[in-house]
C-alpha cells in the first residue's frame, strides 16, 4: 500500500498501518504533535487503520485541519458535559467553525441557559477532559442508529440519519457519550487543556425558520491556557475597534429610536469623512466617463412593479404611501429611476456605454433583529451607478467596474475576498430566461479569470435579475459583510423595454451593469472606522492638526502657525485653554488627531514647532516649511 506525502514522496507501508505509526516513522516529535491525519483530503483519527493507497497528511495544531479536528472533538466534549449536567438534553448539529465550535441543543422543558451557567459547563468539560477519554469510531447500522435516537426521543438526529440511509453510518464514543459522527477527531480529550464557553444564541434546526429553534452554545478550546488568554486578549482589542463604540467616542454618528431604528444620524465629523469618500469616488467616476444624476427618494409603486422588485421584495420594503389614488414607495433601490433616465430619449449605439452615477439613498424594511450599527440599517446611501452598454461592450465595462472597486480597497489597504454570486436551485427566486442567466454567468466567470481575480463561487447568492461579483470584508469581530458589488443584468432591459439603434439601423437591447464600489456609504464607513481603529489617515481625518501652546505667551505665535496651515487648506484645532500641555496632548491623542504641534517659548524663539505624530510620539522639532512638506506628502 502506497502513501503519497505533501512533499511529493511516495512510500510503501504495510496494509492496516495507523496514522500514528506513520507519523512515528517520520519523527517522534511529529507523532507527539499530531492531532489527526488527512487521507485524500478527509480528516480522520490517528488511530484508524489505513487500508488503501492515498494522499497522506499529518495535521497538527498549526494546520487549519488540525484545529478543525481539535474543535470538532471539543464540541463532543461540550456535548458530553451537557449530557451530564442536563441528562434530558437533545443534540442537533455540533460542528467546528472558524474560531472554535458550537453545539445546537434542545434543553429540557423549562431549562434556561445563560451566561451564569458558562462556568459550570466549563468546569464539567475540564473535569471530563482530564479523563483522557479516547475518541473511538464505530460502524452503525441504519436500524441501530435509528433506534438509539428513537429511544432518546431525539427527532433531530433521526432526521439526519434518514439522510444517511444509503451511506455508511458511523458513530463516535468518548467516555459516556455517543454521537452520530463521520469522524475526524483528535486522539483523546486530555489534549483539550483550555476551555471557554463564549456565548449562547438561538438557531433554527437546519437553518429553517419554520423549524424549532434550538439553543446554540458557542465555545473555543486550545491545547494551552496561554493560547486561550491570547485569543481573549485579541478579542478584547477587536471590541475596542467596534465602529459603534468609536462612532460614539469620536462623535461620528448616532442611532436613536427617537429618530428611528436603523436610521443613523451623521454628526459633523462623521459627515466630513463620508463627504471625503464621496469626493474621492466621484473624481474616479468622472475620470471614467460617468455622468452624475439625481433622482427622488420616493417613486410611484408602478415603477417597482415594472422592475419586478415589488413582488420579489415586498416583505423587505416599507409599505407604500397612498396619495390621491396613487401609491408611492420609499425608494428601495435606484435602478428603476436610472432606467427611466435611459428611456428619456432615443439612444444610439454611438451613445453607449452610458454610465449614470448617483449617491442614492434607499430605504429597506430590514427585520428588527437584523439591524446592527452602520452595518445593517434601514436607510442608507449607495454609491450607485448603472451602465448601459451593448452586449459586445459588457466584458470591458465589467473589467472597468471590478478595477474601480479594487482601487477602493487598495486605497484603504483593506483585505477583501471576492465572490462570484451565481443563482441557486430555488424556483421563483430568479427572473429572466435560463439562456440569459447562463450567458451572464459565463461572462462573469470569463472576466474574473481574464483579470486573474482570486475568487470563490457562491451558489444562490445572485440577485434576482443576474449574477454578481461581490467584494466581502470582515469587521473587527470577524463578521463578513458585502461591500462592493458589480452585477450583470439582462432582465431589466426587457422589463423596461430599453433599446438602442444599432449601426444596422435596427433596434437592440442593451445590457445593464449595476455597480457600487463602496456598496453603501454606511456599511463602508463601519468597516473603514474599524479598519483604521478610528485612526484615520491624514487626508480623511476631520481634525488633522491640533496646535498646543504651552502658555498664553505663545498664543500669538500659535495663531500665526494656525493661519498658515489653514491657508494651505489644512484642518486645525487650536487649544487655547489654560491647561497643562500634558492634558492638551492627552486629549488630542484621545481624539485621534493625526498631528499635534507643541509650541513653547523655545519654539517661538527658534520659529519652529515640536511635532507629535498620533500613535508614533514626539518626532522632534520641525520648521514651518518642513511640516508643510510632511502634510503635503500625506494629502491626496
Question: Residue 5 and residue 8: Cα distance in Å, rounded?
Answer: 5
Instruction: Between 109 and 163, name the residue whose CB sits nearer to RNA.
Output: 109
Instruction: Between 102 and 171, name the residue whose CB sits nearer to RNA.
Output: 102
Q: How far is CA 10 from the centre of its chain?
A: 41
Exactly one of 9, 505, 615, 633 binds RNA (CB under 7 A); that residue is 615
Q: Is 528 left (phi over 0), alpha (psi -120 to 50) or beta?
A: alpha
CB of 520 to RNA, least distance (A): 9
Q: Which residue has the cell 427585520?
A: 367
Strand (E) or helix (H) holding 497: none
Binding range to RNA, per CB under 7 A, among 12-20, 45-53, 358-366, 556-564 = 358-366
Among residues 384, 470, 475, 543, the one annotated as catalytic is 384
> Residues touching RNA: how many (CB under 7 A)?
74
Phi, psi of 233, deg, nearest 5: -65, -45
The DSSP code sequence of 596-634 is: EEEE-HHHHHHTEEEEEETTTEEEEEEEHHHHHHHHHHH
Q: What does the block give as the cell for 53? A: 493507497
In angstroms and rounded to an integer, the radius of gyration of the C-alpha atoms of the chain is 30
- 160 forms part of the interface with RNA (CB under 7 A): no
- 618 forms part of the interface with RNA (CB under 7 A): yes
| Residue 423 annotated to the active site | no
Exactly one of 265, 319, 451, 477 binds RNA (CB under 7 A); that residue is 477
Question: Residue 474 and residue 104: Cα distance in Å, rounded?
Answer: 25
Q: Using an 8 Å Cβ cutoff, are 374 and 264 in contact? A: yes
Question: Residue 304 and residue 50: Cα distance in Å, rounded?
Answer: 61
CB of 356 to RNA, least distance (A): 15
- 207 forms part of the interface with RNA (CB under 7 A): yes
| Residue 389 annotated to the active site | no
| Residue 386 annotated to the active site | yes
- 259 forms part of the interface with RNA (CB under 7 A): no
Exactly one of 317, 361, 400, 562 binds RNA (CB under 7 A); that residue is 317
Site for RNA in 561-590 (CB under 7 A): 578-583, 585-587, 589-590
**Burial class of 159 by CB neighbour count within 10 A (0 to 12, 13 to 18, 19+):** middle
Cα angle for residues 199, 127, 47 (degrees, 5° grid): 95
Exactly one of 332, 353, 360, 542 binds RNA (CB under 7 A); that residue is 332
Cβ count near 547 (within 10 Å): 25
Question: Residue 158 and residue 501: Cα distance in Å, rounded?
Answer: 62
Q: What does the block give as the cell for 384? A: 450607485
CB of 486 to RNA, least distance (A): 11
Question: Residue 250 and residue 35: Cα distance in Å, rounded?
Answer: 46
DSSP 8-state assignment for residue 352 = P
Binding range to RNA, per CB under 7 A, among 132-140, 165-173, 397-405, 475-483 = 475-483
Closest to 231 in 3D by CA, of 480, 527, 535, 477: 477
Among residues 172, 181, 335, 401, the one annotated as catalytic is 335
CB of 50 to RNA, least distance (A): 35
Binding range to RNA, per CB under 7 A, among 120-128, 211-219, 400-408, 559-567 = 211-219
Among residues 67, 339, 468, 592, the one annotated as catalytic is 468
Instruction: Between 185 and 515, name the residue whose CB sits nearer to RNA.
Output: 515
Site for RNA in 373-402 (CB under 7 A): 373, 376
- 601 forms part of the interface with RNA (CB under 7 A): yes
- Three-class SS state of 200: strand
Question: Residue 577 and residue 585: Cα distance in Å, rounded?
Answer: 12
**CB within 8 Å of 407: residues ≥ 6 apart:** 284, 517
Among residues 67, 157, 364, 376, the one annotated as catalytic is 364
CB of 201 to RNA, least distance (A): 3
| Residue 384 annotated to the active site | yes
β-strand 354-363 against 291-292: which pairing, if any? parallel
- 137 forms part of the interface with RNA (CB under 7 A): no
Site for RNA in 520-559 (CB under 7 A): 550-553
- 269 forms part of the interface with RNA (CB under 7 A): no
| Residue 206 annotated to the active site | no
Site pattern 186..205 for RNA (x: CB under 7 A): -------------xxxxxx-
- 237 forms part of the interface with RNA (CB under 7 A): no
Q: Which residue has the cell 408611492?
A: 328
The distance between the two most distant Cα atoms of the chain, rounded to a whole number of Å, is: 93
CB of 244 to RNA, least distance (A): 5
Instruction: Between 18 and 302, name the residue whose CB sits nearer to RNA.
Output: 302
- 159 forms part of the interface with RNA (CB under 7 A): no
Question: Residue 251 and residue 433: Cα distance in Å, rounded?
Answer: 49
- 41 forms part of the interface with RNA (CB under 7 A): no
**CB within 8 Å of 75: residues ≥ 6 apart:** 94, 95, 96, 101, 102, 103, 219
Cβ count near 193 (within 10 Å): 16
CB of 262 to RNA, least distance (A): 6
CB of 419 to RNA, least distance (A): 11
| Residue 338 annotated to the active site | no
Question: Residue 339 and residue 511: Cα distance in Å, rounded?
Answer: 11
Instruction: Between 301 and 501, name the residue whose CB sits nearer to RNA.
Output: 301
- 262 forms part of the interface with RNA (CB under 7 A): yes
| Residue 335 annotated to the active site | yes
Exactly one of 291, 367, 433, 568 binds RNA (CB under 7 A); that residue is 367
Site pattern 101..120 for RNA (x: CB under 7 A): -----------xxxx-----
Q: Catalogue the active-site residues.
A: 335, 364, 382, 384, 386, 468, 514
Amino acid at each position: 500500500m502506497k502513501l503519497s506525502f505533501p512533499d511529493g514522496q511516495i512510500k510503501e507501508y504495510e496494509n492496516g498501518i495507523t496514522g500514528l505509526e506513520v507519523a512515528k516513522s517520520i519523527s517522534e516529535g511529529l507523532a507527539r504533535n499530531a492531532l489527526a491525519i488527512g487521507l485524500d483530503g478527509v480528516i480522520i483519527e490517528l488511530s484508524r487503520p489505513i487500508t488503501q493507497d492515498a494522499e497522506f497528511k499529518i495535521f497538527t495544531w498549526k494546520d487549519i485541519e488540525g484545529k478543525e479536528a481539535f474543535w470538532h472533538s471539543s464540541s463532543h466534549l461540550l456535548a458530553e458535559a451537557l449530557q451530564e449536567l442536563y441528562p434530558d438534553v437533545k443534540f442537533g448539529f455540533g460542528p467546528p467553525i472558524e474560531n472554535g465550535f458550537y453545539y445546537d441543543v434542545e434543553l429540557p422543558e423549562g431549562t434556561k441557559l445563560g451566561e451564569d451557567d458558562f462556568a459550570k459547563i466549563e468546569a464539567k468539560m475540564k473535569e471530563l477532559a482530564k479523563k483522557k477519554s479516547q475518541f473511538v469510531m464505530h460502524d452503525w447500522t441504519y436500524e441501530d442508529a435509528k433506534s438509539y435516537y428513537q429511544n432518546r426521543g431525539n427527532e433531530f438526529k433521526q432526521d439526519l440519519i434518514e439522510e444517511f440511509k444509503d451511506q455508511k453510518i458511523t458513530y463516535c464514543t468518548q467516555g459516556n457519550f455517543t454521537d452520530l459522527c463521520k469522524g475526524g477527531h483528535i486522539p483523546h480529550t486530555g489534549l483539550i487543556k483550555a476551555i471557554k464557553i463564549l456565548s449562547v444564541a438561538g438557531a433554527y434546526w437546519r437553518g429553517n425558520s419554520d423549524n424549532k429553534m434550538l439553543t446554540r452554545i458557542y465555545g473555543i478550546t486550545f491545547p494551552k491556557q496561554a493560547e486561550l488568554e491570547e485569543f481573549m486578549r485579541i478579542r478584547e482589542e477587536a471590541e475596542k475597534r467596534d465602529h459603534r463604540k468609536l462612532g460614539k467616542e469620536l462623535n461620528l454618528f448616532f442611532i436613536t429610536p427617537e429618530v428611528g431604528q436603523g436610521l443613523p444620524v451623521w454628526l459633523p465629523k462623521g459627515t466630513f469623512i463620508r463627504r471625503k469618500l464621496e469626493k474621492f469616488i466621484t473624481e474616479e467616476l468622472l475620470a471614467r466617463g460617468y455622468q452624475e444624476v439625481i433622482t427622488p427618494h420616493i417613486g410611484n409603486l408602478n415603477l417597482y412593479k415594472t422592475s419586478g422588485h415589488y413582488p420579489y421584495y415586498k416583505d423587505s420594503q416599507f409599505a407604500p404611501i397612498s396619495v390621491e389614488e396613487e401609491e408611492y414607495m420609499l425608494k428601495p433601490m435606484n435602478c428603476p429611476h436610472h432606467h427611466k433616465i435611459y428611456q428619456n430619449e432615443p439612444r444610439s449605439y454611438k451613445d453607449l456605454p452610458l454610465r449614470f452615477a448617483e449617491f442614492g439613498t434607499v430605504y429597506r424594511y430590514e427585520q428588527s433583529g437584523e439591524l446592527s450599527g452602520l452595518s445593517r440599517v434601514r436607510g442608507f446611501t449607495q454609491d450607485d451607478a448603472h451602465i448601459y452598454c451593448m452586449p459586445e461592450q459588457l466584458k470591458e465595462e465589467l473589467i472597468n467596474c471590478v478595477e474601480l472597486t479594487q482601487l477602493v480597497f487598495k486605497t484603504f489597504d483593506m483585505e477583501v475576498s471576492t465572490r462570484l454570486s451565481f443563482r441557486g436551485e430555488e424556483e421563483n427566486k430568479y427572473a429572466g430566461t435560463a439562456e440569459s442567466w447562463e450567458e451572464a454567468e459565463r461572462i462573469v466567470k470569463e472576466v474574473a479569470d481574464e483579470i486573474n481575480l482570486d475568487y470563490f463561487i457562491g451558489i444562490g447568492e445572485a440577485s434576482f435579475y443576474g449574477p454578481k461579483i461581490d467584494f466581502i470584508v470582515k469587521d473587527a469581530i470577524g463578521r463578513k459583510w458585502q461591500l462592493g458589488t458589480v452585477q450583470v443584468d439582462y432582465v431589466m432591459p426587457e422589463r423596461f423595454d430599453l433599446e438602442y439603434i444599432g449601426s444596422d439601423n435596427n433596434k437592440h437591447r442593451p445590457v445593464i451593469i449595476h455597480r457600487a464600489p463602496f456598496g453603501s456609504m454606511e456599511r463602508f464607513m463601519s468597516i473603514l472606522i474599524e479598519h483604521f481603529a478610528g485612526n484615520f489617515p491624514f487626508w480623511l481625518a476631520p481634525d488633522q492638526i491640533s496646535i498646543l501652546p504651552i502658555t498664553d505667551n505663545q498664543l500669538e505665535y500659535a495663531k500665526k502657525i494656525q493661519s498658515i496651515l489653514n491657508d494651505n487648506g489644512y484642518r486645525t484645532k487650536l487649544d487655547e485653554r489654560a491647561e497643562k500641555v500634558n492634558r492638551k496632548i492627552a486629549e488630542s491623542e484621545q481624539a485621534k488627531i493625526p498631528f499635534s504641534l507643541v509650541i513653547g517659548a523655545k519654539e517661538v524663539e527658534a520659529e519652529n514647532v515640536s511635532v507629535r505624530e498620533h500613535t508614533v510620539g514626539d518626532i522632534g522639532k520641525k520648521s514651518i516649511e518642513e511640516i508643510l512638506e510632511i502634510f503635503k506628502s500625506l494629502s491626496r
